[in-house]
Structure 1
Amino acid sequence: MYERRTTEPTPVPAPLGTVPGYRQPSDVHVGDFVFLDGLYLRVRDMRSAGTAGHRVLIFDRHSPWVMKESATTYRPVELL
């Protein structure tokens, strides 16, 4: 049987035991996951980026990332 080829990458499943949510930078918690560069990265620490609407998220084995706008994050169920 013919299958249509697609150029879209196969979606990576979310981390087990997490619930997605569209959150503002001020609502992100340490322990949340963010999908960045094709990986789900766990927020290890965070800093203020000078304004209430921006956060610098710090991960293990990845450079820090400035979260400037709302994005989908994945919160572990035990943190809800």
Structure 2
Amino acid sequence: MYERRTTEPAPRPLGTIAGQRQPSEVRIGDFVCLDGLYLRIRDMRSADTAGHRVLIFDGHSPWVMRESATTYRPIELF
């Protein structure tokens, strides 16, 4: 039996809002879609330039964010 392949990731994490953000705008706790999985940013470091960030996740190798990307930020309730 054939499986339908799709490049679309799973639905976004519940309770989050998508946004196009620069590396300098991401925060710990945001989600990024890598390899078809939504990974929560656990920690981050600045890279060689101010426009790059090294994002650190649980259970996944670090990823260098070099340009703007869609991130998913948890909705803040006041």
Task: Output the CA distance in 2 between the equivalents of 1:60 and 1:41.
Answer: 8
Query: Moved runs in structure 1, 4+ residues, more than 4 A?
Result: none
Q: Which residue of 2 aligns with 1:50?
A: 48
TM-score (structure 1 length as normaliser)? 0.85
Aligned identity (percent) is: 74
1:9-40: per-residue Cα shift (whole Å, max 9, x none)?
45410000000000000000000000001100
Task: Output the CA distance in 1 between the equivalents of 2:8 and 2:33.
Answer: 14
- Count how many residue pairs are aligned between Structure 1 and Structure 2: 75
Unaligned runs of 5+ in 1: 1-5
Q: Which residue of 2 aligns with 1:36?
A: 34
Question: SS where residue 76 of structure 2 aligns?
Answer: helix
Q: Which residue of 1 aligns with 2:59?
A: 61
TM-score (structure 2 length as normaliser)? 0.88
The alpha-carbon distance between structure 1 residues 12 and 49, as it changes in their structure 2 partners (threshold 3 A), is: same
Greater radius of gyration (CA):
1
Task: Output the CA distance in 2 between the equivalents of 1:10 and 1:70.
Answer: 19
